[in-house]
Amino acid sequence: MYYICAMNSEFIQNWLSQVKKGTLSYIILNILNEKEYYGYDLIQEIKLHTTLEVAEGTLYPLLNKLKTDGIVESKWVEQPSGIPRKYYTLSAEGKVTLNEMKKIWLTLETAIHKIQK
């Protein structure tokens, strides 16, 4: 019995990890669609709206990839502290991408609801 529980727990952990990996980009794009954020602030916003534990070490490489793909843009903004912040915002291509992702998400959500009954 214990063995089965341990196996299920491992399976669920792996599944959750995949879900987080797959949805983090979508969450980030939705948040950036509202206004621009700098990295630290974006992490706080994700924590505020979701129960996802987002490791900072995961977020920055992902932001960098989104920037490379032309989905987000960034700019440095000087601060009175002398430590500038790097603000991220959705690019025009990012807005189109997000709209497509929203359609896919809604279709998936409807399908899951139907299946779950």
Partner 1 sequence: MKKLIYKNPTAQKIYDSYFKRVSRCVSILSPNDQLELQMELNSHIYEATNDVAPDKEVEALIEALEKLGAPEEMLQPAIADKKIKQASRSFNPKHVLQAMYLNVSSGLGYLTLAFVYLLIVAFGMLVILKLLFADNTGLFLKDGRFKVFGFTPTVPAGSSEVLGYWFIPLVIIIMLVAYFLNTSLLRLLKKQ
Considering only 81, 113, 116, 117, the residue that binds partner 1 (CB under 8 A) is 81
Least Å distance, CB 33 to partner 1, is 22
**Binders in 5-64 for partner 1, by CB under 8 A:** 38-41, 55-57, 60-61, 64
Look at residue 15 and give its three-state secondary structure. Answer: helix
Total site size for partner 1, rule CB under 8 A: 19
Cα torsion 68, 72, 75, 77: sign: negative
* Complex with partner 1: residue 15 or 40, whichever CB lies closer: 40
- Taking residue 66's Cβ as centre, other Cβ atoms within 10 Å add up to 22
Least Å distance, CB 44 to partner 1, is 9
Alpha-carbon distances, residue 29 vs 57, 63, 95 (angstroms):
18, 10, 8
Distance from chain centroid for Cα 33: 12
Closest residue by Cα to residue 102 from 23, 35, 15, 21: 23
Least Å distance, CB 94 to partner 1, is 18
* Complex with partner 1: residue 85 or 102, whichever CB lies closer: 85
Would you tell me which residues interact with partner 1 (CB under 8 A)?
38-41, 55-57, 60-61, 64-65, 68, 76, 81-86
